[in-house]
Structure 1
Amino acid sequence: MADANLTAVPMAASGYGKRSAPDQAPRSRDDFAHLPAREAAIAAYIDRLPDGAAVDIKSLAKQIPAYGQQAVSTALNNLSEAGHLRRIRETVGEGRTQWVTRSHFSRTARDDAWWEAFLEEGEGTASDPVPARAASRRHPTRLARSAAYEALVRLGRTEPRLGLSAAECSDLEPLAGEWLARGATPDDLVRALTAGLPDLVHHPGAFTRTRLTEKMPPEAPSAPEPSLPPRRRVMECTGCGVPGRPEALPGGLCRGCRGDSPRPELPGPAADDVRAYVSELRAMARTSR
């Protein structure tokens, strides 16, 4: 393939960039054997990029030195016609008011009907991949303990007869978490478990489990989830970015980028005017001698 740099892949702005199409065939050596050499090389490079990578013309031309921007532009149009690429503009965000354009790439070539169905069905609500933060090796951070776990730890501090070990706190954490999920506060939980204790508690862990189970508050009524406006999606021409319905963009290209609409020729001067102008020039030449 073309000499490409995969060690420093530029990422697009959040929400933009490459998106891998679903249900692709496993990667093989002959994925792009049906394409010309240039298109096959660029397709293989895009296929290896992570989702969210920048796949605009300038970024690809910079990362693949063998081809300039014009060559990359033409190759992307050809990949679109071959069924490997579509650009789709859609709304994102909490209110779904922000428009972003994503380049959906499929290692497996798809026909127009498949891409149209993909546009109508959408790609789910998966958000952009968030890069993982590397933990410090010198100063590893301890995982934050839950509010339920902290409430169980407080039991022994509030009432020594209910002092629990770390293992018992971890074991009872799901039950205590259910209390909080049902609307109880950590203070409510501590008060309910420490009230009216017998003079001697032989097994604090078992005693606490019994109270957590028997005094479990009722489930809180579930609040209706706020409904989001429907996601809007529209296909764009791979070549020029003009939006349109899939049927107006066969192969992902508009008529102009497919070459179906030749550029109109500008009207030239009339033949009589040309002859008169030439005669005038000749007369001026004879006079100047």
Structure 2
Amino acid sequence: MDTQHDSALTHALAGIPGPVPPSGVLHAVIPHTSRFTVVGNHLAQHAELSLVAIGVGVHIQSLPAGAAVGIKALAARFPEGEAKIACALRELEAHGYLHRTRVRLPKGRVATRTVFCNQPGAVLRGGVVPVVGPAVRSTGPARTPVREHIRVPEPVAVPEPTAVPEHRSVPEPDPVPEHRPVPEPDPVPQALHAPVRLPSRTAPTQPRRPLPHPQVLTPELRQAAAALLADLRRHAEELVLSEQDVEELVPGVAAWLERDATTDTIRRTLAADLPQPLKHPARLLRHRLTALLPAPLPGALDLTSPRRAPVTPFQTCDGCERAFRSHEPGHCRDCRAQYGEAA
């Protein structure tokens, strides 16, 4: 009873044509009727692209025209960081799937245009390149206009009518569709500038330091910390805190009070040199309580001077007048050996 059986999956696997392999993946193929994207195996099984680059390429190919595909937009959508996404975009650009060029808009502004090619090999051979957006005047050499890929219906072969008696009417065949001329689209615009290369490495984000907490949050510490935080707006009108902000910042102020910081010291530290305008007072107070936390005061035993080890004084040898260390006067080691004295 520890193994669950899915009857629907069992029937789906039973319908797989041909022999079932003993190991590896099995495909239960169900045709899509809506919301699907055709992706070539040259991208899904690319031998040189990383798995992150393949996933980013498939995601970009599934987006509609005009969607944001920058590093910030992709990092907000997926759990991968900006460094991984930037590296994946560079891989796609190196293998011809992604093209980023800078174009000049009609009002003089410069923008980055991103074009994703689902078949880079066809682009190199002069295939179809759909371009979305207004045409841009090009300063480079003229390019050959690319014909739009439009499917023209083939003529339908109509069989000749067979001989029938005169009293029967023969239905007329359907008219053959005429061949209409294919319109030529505007030429593909040329990029004004070279592709923009992103930096090879982005600055890593530093982890957020936790708010300090006291060893024991007593009711007295909680009450004193809450009163200090609520009283800050009397000294700086920008520091207006809600009840939730006061409740979250109470452990940080209690940690300062536990380390023998006075209320005046905490108030001056939190309310001094405020930025103008101050948009998030609770975040500023949290940062100052965390980054400027004072060190704990040393104890009485820590401030005493360390005890020095006792030093053996020097003595003058009565025999050879040489100095040696000893607590009592007498002879040095060589003279004791000469006179036969004990050490």
Q: TM-score, normalised by structure 2?
A: 0.27
**Structure of greater Rg:** 2
Higher relative contact order (CA closer than 8 Å, sequence separation 6+): 1
